[in-house]
Chains A and B, each alone.
Chain A
Amino acid sequence: MAELAWSDGLSIGVAEVDAQHKRLIGLVNDVAEAVRAGAGRDIAGAALRNLCDYAVEHFASEEALMDPESYPEYDMHLGQHMDGTTRALDFLQAFSQGEEVDMAQFVAFLSDWVVHHVMEVDQTLGRHLRSRGAA
Chain B
Amino acid sequence: MQAMSEYFQAVGQAILDSGGTIDKFIGDAVMAFWNAPYESSDHVEQACLAALRVARASEELNARRAAAGLPLLRTRVGVHTGAAVVGNLGSADRMDYTALGASVNLASRLEGLNKFYATRILASHSVRDRTRQEFLFRSVDVVVPKGTSDPVAVFELVGAMPASRFAEVAAPRADLGFCSRWERAVTLYRTAQWDRALGEFTALAQLHPDDKLAAMYCTRTQRLLKNKQGRDWKAIKRFVNK
Question: Which residues of B lie under 8 Å from residue A78 when comparing CB positions?
Answer: 176-177, 180
In angstroms, Cα B183 to Cα A52, docked, is: 11
Question: Which residues of A lie under 8 Å from residue B153 when comparing CB positions?
Answer: 89-90, 93
Assess whether A63 is in contact with B177, with CB atoms less than 8 Å apart. yes
In angstroms, Cα B136 to Cα A86, docked, is: 12
Residue interface mask B181-212, A partner, CB < 8 A = 1: 10110111011010000000000000000000
Assess whether A89 is in contact with B132, with CB atoms less than 8 Å apart. no
Question: Which secondary structure characterizes the binding site on chain A?
Answer: helix
Assess whether A89 is in contact with B190, with CB atoms less than 8 Å apart. yes
Contact of A74 among B125, B142, B176, B188 (CB under 8 A): B176
Assess whether A75 is in contact with B177, with CB atoms less than 8 Å apart. no
A116 CB, nearest partner CB in chain B, Å: 15
Assess whether A97 is in contact with B132, with CB atoms less than 8 Å apart. no
Question: Which residues of A lie under 8 Å from residue B142 when comparing CB positions?
Answer: 93
Q: Does B82 sit within 8 A of A, measured CB to CB?
A: no
B170 CB, nearest partner CB in chain A, Å: 10
In angstroms, Cα B236 to Cα A52, docked, is: 19
Assess whether B181 is in contact with A63, with CB atoms less than 8 Å apart. yes
Interface hub of A63, A78, A82 (most chain B Cβ within 10 A): A82
Contact of B190 among A60, A79, A82, A93 (CB under 8 A): A93
Q: Does B179 sit within 8 A of A, measured CB to CB?
A: yes
A39 CB, nearest partner CB in chain B, Å: 17
Within 8 A of B (CB), among A35-81: 49, 52-53, 56, 59-60, 63, 68, 74-75, 78-79, 81
Assess whether A79 is in contact with B181, with CB atoms less than 8 Å apart. no
Known contacts A89-B139, A93-B142, A97-B151, A60 near B174 by CB under 8 Å:
no
Assess whether B191 is in contact with A53, with CB atoms less than 8 Å apart. yes
- Name the residue on B nearest A45 (C-beta): B231
B131 CB, nearest partner CB in chain A, Å: 12
Contact of B234 among A59, A63, A96 (CB under 8 A): A96
In angstroms, Cα B180 to Cα A78, docked, is: 7
Q: Does B163 sit within 8 A of A, measured CB to CB?
A: yes
B163 CB, nearest partner CB in chain A, Å: 5
Known contacts A75-B162, A97-B234, A89 near B187 by CB under 8 Å:
yes
Assess whether B184 is in contact with A60, with CB atoms less than 8 Å apart. yes
B25 CB, nearest partner CB in chain A, Å: 35
Assess whether A89 is in contact with B177, with CB atoms less than 8 Å apart. no
A105 CB, nearest partner CB in chain B, Å: 15
Question: Which residues of A lie under 8 Å from residue B183 when comparing CB positions?
Answer: 81-82, 85-86, 89
In angstroms, Cα B125 to Cα A90, docked, is: 9
Assess whether B174 is in contact with A68, with CB atoms less than 8 Å apart. yes
Contact of B184 among A59, A68, A90 (CB under 8 A): A59
Contact of B132 among A75, A86, A96 (CB under 8 A): A86
Contact of B180 among A53, A81, A88, A97 (CB under 8 A): A81
Question: Which residues of A lie under 8 Å from residue B173 when comparing CB positions?
Answer: 68, 74-75
Known contacts A63-B180, A68-B176, A82-B180, A75 near B161 by CB under 8 Å:
yes
Which 5 pairs from chain A and chain B are nearest by CB?
A85-B183, A56-B184, A78-B176, A78-B180, A68-B173
Given contacts A86-B183, A89-B186, 7 further A-B contacts (CB under 8 A): A52-B187, A60-B181, A78-B176, A82-B176, A90-B125, A93-B153, A96-B235
